[in-house]
Amino acid sequence: MKQESQGETEKRLKKVLFIVTKSNWGGAQRYVYDLATNLPKDQFESVVVFGGEDGAGAAPGILKEKLVAAGIRTIFIPSLTRDVSLSKEFLVWRDLTRLMRAERPDVVHLNSSKAAAWGAFVAFMVGVPRVIFTVHGWPFKEQRNFFATFLIREISRFTGILSDAVIVVSKEDEMIGTRMWGLRKKVRYVPLAIPHTLEMFSRAEVEDLLFSGISAHGKETIRLVTIAEITPNKGLNFAAIDMMEGLEKRAPGKFSYTIIGNGEGRSALAAKIIEHKLEKSVWLANFSTNKLPVSLETGASRYLPAFDIFILPSIKEGMPYVLLEAAMAGLPIIATDVVQTEASDLPKIHFVPSRSGATLAHEVEKVSQNVSVLQQTTTTRTFSKMINTTIELYTTAPTISVSSRA
């Protein structure tokens, strides 16, 4: 374990130890950052624990940089990765045990499945007074074989049983959680919210910053965009390949599609785009573009005014921040029905079945007939409510045994 920064706080402050598996910049990491940097500093000390950016041996990612810049103490645990092996699991158990005994937190706030499972177990064994588990989409909703699905479901339930409260960020996950034995009274729906008004570039500024020299994204096209980590759960093959093939066949050159994101599936998706001869209409945005004033990795939403329609093709999702950002930017949204229960309150949102590029293409053609000049909007979700509800869960009288936690 490597402590990344030092600092002393008054003993009366409640120490909240946030734990997340990866230190890239996804939904769970954004959630941890927003909470850790916005907890009242006269009441709480925030400490964030994470593994590498992605995969075994990876260095800390952008989450660490942003937290350090915001004055939040961080702790890097190299053994904490998504990969599963007996030797690595022992190291995670050992490192988290040593950490919690040394830090003596008042609250452990768990995020992401693997970090949550080990964190809940270790926190209970060392006697942490309060354990909170946030579900960013139940992991057993992903398509797997029966045995794997059953095992992951039971691990998730076990994590919840060892926790004092289970926060869910979507109504669908709330419904699933309340039906799991031992969790019904623990599940609390806390809607996501953004802690500040989005500051965005103008359309003309973004056209110059992003699209100069890229003919496929000229002013003559209707621009589609997705901001997402490139993983199987995000359903990007259905959008980048199936949807765009359908649009190109019916209206060659009319639509362009930009995907802003990195992830384990990026190289494979890029190869498929070339294989299907879609490289002139589908663009994987380059995070390493030096001329950009704000990084695409952490500030992609500021570039949304350059686009006409936001696409969310996910096959498994909780409630992503990008939908709130797209709505606030005034973009029409086409999303799969995996978020319909949660996101139906957003303006100009249209839902289609998941895993269907043809349906996405049809909806894009329909929505594109009424694309208008963007005007930023607001949502009914407030960050003050999100953080106050979370603080309420931190300060509720702790439970003291497995039986009472269940």
Q: Does residue 90 share a domain with residue 68?
A: yes
What does the angle CA 60 – CA 159 – CA 46 come to, to the nearest 5 degrees? 45
Q: Does residue 145 share a domain with residue 56?
A: yes
What is the 3-state secondary structure of the chain?
A: CEECCCCCCCCCCEEEEEEECCCCCCHHHHHHHHHHHHCCCCCEEEEEEECCCCCCCCCCCHHHHHHHHCCCEEEECCCCCCCCCHHHHHHHHHHHHHHHHHHCCCEEEEECHHHHHHHHHHHHHHCCCEEEEEECCCHHHCCCCHHHHHHHHHHHHHHHHCCCEEEECCHHHHHHHHCCCCCCCCEEECCCCCCCCCCCCCHHHHHHHHCCCCHHHCCCCEEEEEECCCCHHHCHHHHHHHHHHHHHHHCCCCEEEEEECCCCCHHHHHHHHHHCCCCCCEEECCCCCCCCCCCHHHHHHHHHHHCCEEEECCCCCCCCHHHHHHHHHCCCEEEEHHHHHHHCCCCCEEEECCCCHHHHHHHHHHHHCCCCCCCCCCCCCCHHHHHHHHHHHHHCCCCCCHHHHC
Judged by average pLDDT, the poorest of 111-115, 147-151, 163-167, 395-399 is 395-399
For range 194-206, the mean pLDDT: 81
Q: Does residue 139 share a domain with residue 273?
A: no
Q: Closest by alpha carbon to 264, among 303, 300, 224, 228? A: 228
Q: Does residue 253 share a domain with residue 115?
A: no
pLDDT at res. 324? 93
Residue 378 lies in a domain: no
Given a cut of 50, whether residue 70 has pLDDT beyond it is yes
Token pair for residue 272?
A: 């498929």
Q: Does residue 287 share a domain with residue 241?
A: yes
pLDDT grade for 81, boundaries at 50, 70 and 90? confident
Which tops the pLDDT comparison, 6 or 235?
A: 235
Q: Does residue 11 share a domain with residue 48?
A: yes
pLDDT at res. 101? 97
Q: Does residue 332 share a domain with residue 237?
A: yes
Residue 376 lies in a domain: no
Judged by average pLDDT, the poorest of 7-21, 274-288, 312-326 is 7-21
Q: Does residue 233 share a domain with residue 151?
A: no
Residue 63 lies in a domain: yes
Would you give the end-to-end CA distance of the chain in angstroms?
Answer: 31
Residue 166 lies in a domain: yes
Q: Does residue 17 share a domain with residue 100?
A: yes
Given a cut of 80, whether residue 395 has pLDDT beyond it is yes
Q: What is the CATH number of the domain that holds 108?
A: 3.40.50.2000
Residue 31 lies in a domain: yes
Token pair for residue 119?
A: 């964190």
Residue 342 lies in a domain: yes
Q: What is the pLDDT of residues 253-288, one digit of tens each?
A: 999 999 998 888 999 999 999 999 999 999 998 766
Helical packing angle, 146-161 and 113-126, nearest 10°: 40
For range 387-398, the mean pLDDT: 86
The answer to whether residues 305 and 329 touch, using CB atoms and an 8 Å cutoff, is yes
Q: Does residue 109 share a domain with residue 83?
A: yes
Given a cut of 80, whether residue 290 has pLDDT beyond it is no
Range of the domain at 109: 2-193+383-405
Look at the chain and report how many structural domains it folds into: 2
Q: Does residue 82 share a domain with residue 172?
A: yes
pLDDT at res. 404? 47
Looking at residue 155, its amino acid is I
Mean pLDDT of the chain: 87
Which tops the pLDDT comparison, 357 or 112?
A: 357
Given a cut of 60, whether residue 217 has pLDDT beyond it is no
User: Which residues sit opposite 50 in a β-bridge?
Assistant: 20, 76
What does the angle CA 144 – CA 93 – CA 101 come to, to the nearest 5 degrees? 140
pLDDT grade for 179, boundaries at 50, 70 and 90? very high
For range 70-97, the mean pLDDT: 87
Residue 182 lies in a domain: yes
Residue 354 lies in a domain: yes
pLDDT at res. 400? 44
Q: Closest by alpha carbon to 47, among 31, 35, 36, 59? A: 36
Q: What is the pLDDT of residues 346-391, one digit of tens each?
A: 999 999 999 999 999 999 999 999 876 555 555 657 899 999 999 9
Q: Does residue 237 share a domain with residue 119?
A: no
Given a cut of 70, whether residue 315 has pLDDT beyond it is yes
Give the whole-angstrom CA distance, residue 149 versus residue 18: 27
Given a cut of 70, whether residue 85 has pLDDT beyond it is no
